[in-house]
């Protein structure tokens, strides 16, 4: 099976790690960009590199879901096998040791739900049991202890068989049962467990209230968002800098779920280190919390105290459930992918060719914008004829051509030719009718081609 070309559409899900981004396409392929560290590209190498645009993980096309930890990735295939790769310093990849994995490693079979925390992993299996591995200080695995870490799967202490979903935070884990009840474990110093406890930690899963209509949970470091099947969202934990979006709350600890914008309905929630993002049922996007690098959509480093609409678009489809760093991503109804916030290591994957933060959503692209620039074309260097053309084109060039690339007008690389001679015929008969951009030897100039 060969690797696929990057494209601007067809994206299904996006999530972020500490300084990188990961996305799943509708064709079942998985892609990574930003800082490739600890082998998160999954290509067998532990060498740290920068990936400016989405790069495919291997060639497999049977991935159906994924979750991102600080420096590691969990991904599930269509047969319910769960794989993991990247950093493994606390045993979060369930290998039995702490050696990093530079290629996808089979962690478990029969997995229905899974989630990567900061340094730990949680799964729910087809038999309804929940298991965890990795970092366990603060009792984050819910196994009844706060042992430093485990390098293999440990079942949560109640041994229940009615778990439906799991969600991992930084030092907390959550589970939703088949009856819609919500449970939590881990640190509680800022009220993250949501159980009403006033301090300490919970080494076992404890029920949050008595409600039976919980759908999703997303956990930052000190704050948590929960989405109900009714479309209502709730927040708990530390409200400082507006990370819970509760107007007038200031900096305090909410130890039980509090309603956020009770008059509205929502479809998606997301949390970062200390920020939040939500999508309303009218497909508008809102952000709040600490403005790291523009994550809350304002140019200055202002801390939003209430949810603030990001732009005016009304076609947002889904968000990353949990974000590991200081950038957010979302996908629109047309399956294009957008991101904003910190971009110091190309984690936004946009086309500006720079590591510049953005306070507005920028589209994740396959090449830099300037690669497709057609300004200042020097016809003295090369000329393409006939143009328009149906079957073949010829290049008149004053110098040898090592490589010629043809891009779609959207920036997708569709053809590459190497070592061309002057006036050598180039077959374009299998290209679809339309406009293309031709680049030669990665020069700054380019020329438009019209395919008849």
| DSSP letters for 48-73 | -EEEEEEEESSS---EEEEEE-SSEE
How much is the pLDDT for 207? 99
How distant, in Å, are the alpha carbons of 120, 218, 223 from that of 236? 22, 11, 6
Q: Does residue 280 surpass a pLDDT of 70?
A: yes
- Residue 48 main-chain phi, psi, to 5 deg: -80, 130
How much is the pLDDT for 379? 43
Residue showing tokens 């029920």: 207
Token pair for residue 212?
A: 């039976």
Q: Which residue has the higher pLDDT, 86 or 1?
A: 86
How much is the pLDDT for 409? 66
How distant, in Å, are the alpha carbons of 22, 35, 75, 320 from that of 87? 15, 13, 14, 21
Q: Does residue 385 surpass a pLDDT of 90?
A: no
**How many angstroms separate the CA atoms of 157 and 316, rounded?**
39
**Percent of the chain predicted with pLDDT > 90:** 71
User: CB of 438 within 8 A of CB of 450?
Assistant: no
pTM of the model: 0.84
Domains and CATH numbers, the chain: 11-369 (2.130.10.30), 371-451 (2.60.40)
Average pLDDT for residues 201-219, to the nearest whole number?
A: 98
**Percent of the chain predicted with pLDDT > 70:** 94
When the pLDDT of each residue in the chain is averaged and rounded to a whole number, the result is: 91
Distance of CA 128 to the CA centre of its chain: 27
Q: pLDDT tens for residues 100-121?
A: 999 999 999 999 999 999 999 9
Q: Does residue 343 surpass a pLDDT of 90?
A: yes
Q: Does residue 377 surpass a pLDDT of 60?
A: no
Q: Which of 22-31, 275-284, 354-363, 372-381 shows the lowest per-residue confidence on average (mean pLDDT)?
A: 372-381
Q: pLDDT tens for residues 68-102?
A: 999 999 999 999 999 999 999 999 999 999 999 99
Average pLDDT for residues 199-219, to the nearest whole number?
A: 97
Q: Does residue 245 surpass a pLDDT of 50?
A: yes
Q: Which residue has the higher pLDDT, 114 or 450?
A: 114
Token pair for residue 357?
A: 């933060």
Q: Does residue 188 surpass a pLDDT of 70?
A: yes
Residue showing tokens 């801390």: 303
How distant, in Å, are the alpha carbons of 179, 198, 225 from that of 259? 21, 20, 10
Question: Using 50, 70 and 90 to split pLDDT, how confident is the model at 376?
Answer: very low
Q: Does residue 428 surpass a pLDDT of 90?
A: yes
With CA atoms as reference, report the closest residue to 133 among 112, 113, 162, 107: 107
Q: pLDDT tens for residues 292-311?
A: 888 887 766 667 778 999 99
Question: Using 50, 70 and 90 to split pLDDT, how confident is the model at 49?
Answer: very high
Q: Identify the sign of the CA torsion 192, 197, 199, 205.
A: negative
The percent helix, strand, coil of the chain (3-state, each to 5) is 0, 50, 50
With CA atoms as reference, report the closest residue to 20 among 411, 412, 331, 323: 323
Q: pLDDT tens for residues 122-148?
A: 999 999 999 999 999 999 999 999 999
Average pLDDT for residues 253-275, to the nearest whole number?
A: 95
With CA atoms as reference, report the closest residue to 85 among 37, 14, 141: 37
How much is the pLDDT for 302? 67
């Amino acid at each position: 099976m060969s690797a696929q070309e990057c494209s601007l559409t067809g994206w299904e899900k996006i999530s972020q790690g500490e300084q990188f981004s990961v996305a799943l396409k509708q064709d079942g392929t998985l892609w990574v960009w930003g800082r490739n560290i600890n082998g998160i590209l999954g290509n067998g190498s532990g060498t740290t590199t920068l990936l400016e645009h989405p790069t495919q993980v291997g060639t497999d096309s049977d991935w159906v879901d994924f979750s991102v930890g600080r420096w590691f990735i969990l991904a599930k295939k269509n047969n319910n096998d769960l794989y993991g790769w990247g950093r493994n310093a606390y045993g979060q990849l369930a290998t039995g040791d702490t050696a990093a994995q530079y290629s996808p490693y089979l962690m478990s079979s029969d997995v229905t739900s899974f989630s990567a925390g900061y340094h730990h992993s949680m799964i729910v299996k087809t038999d309804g049991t929940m298991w965890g591995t990795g970092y366990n200080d603060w009792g984050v695995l819910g196994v009844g202890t706060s042992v430093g870490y485990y390098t293999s799967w440990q079942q949560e202490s109640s041994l229940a068989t009615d778990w439906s979903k799991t969600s991992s935070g930084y030092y907390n884990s959550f589970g939703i049962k088949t009856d819609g009840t919500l449970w939590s474990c881990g640190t509680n110093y800022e009220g993250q467990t949501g159980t009403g406890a006033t301090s300490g930690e919970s080494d076992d899963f404890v029920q949050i209230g008595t409600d039976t209509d919980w759908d999703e949970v997303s956990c930052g470091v000190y704050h948590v968002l929960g989405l109900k099947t009714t479309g209502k969202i709730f927040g708990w934990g530390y409200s400082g800098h507006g990370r819970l979006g509760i107007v007038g709350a200031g900096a305090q600890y909410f130890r039980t779920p509090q309603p956020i914008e009770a008059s509205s309905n929502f479809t998606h929630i997301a949390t970062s280190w200390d920020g939040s993002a939500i999508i309303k049922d009218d497909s508008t996007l809102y952000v709040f919390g600490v403005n790291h690098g523009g994550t809350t959509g304002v140019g200055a480093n202002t801390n939003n105290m209430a949810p603030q609409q990001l732009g005016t678009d009304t076609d947002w489809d889904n968000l990353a459930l949990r974000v590991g760093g200081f950038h957010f991503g979302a996908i629109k109804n047309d399956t294009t992918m957008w991101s904003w916030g910190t971009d110091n290591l190309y984690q936004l994957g946009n086309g500006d060719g720079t590591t510049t933060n953005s306070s507005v959503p920028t589209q994740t692209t396959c090449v830099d914008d300037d690669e497709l620039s057609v300004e200042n074309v020097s016809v003295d260097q090369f000329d393409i004829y006939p143009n328009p053309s149906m079957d073949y084109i010829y290049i008149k060039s004053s110098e040898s051509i090592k490589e010629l690339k043809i891009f779609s007008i959207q920036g997708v690389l569709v053809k590459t030719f190497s070592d061309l001679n002057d006036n050598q015929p180039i077959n374009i008969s299998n290209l679809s009718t339309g406009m293309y951009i031709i680049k030669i030897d990665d020069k700054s100039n380019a020329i438009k081609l019209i395919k008849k």
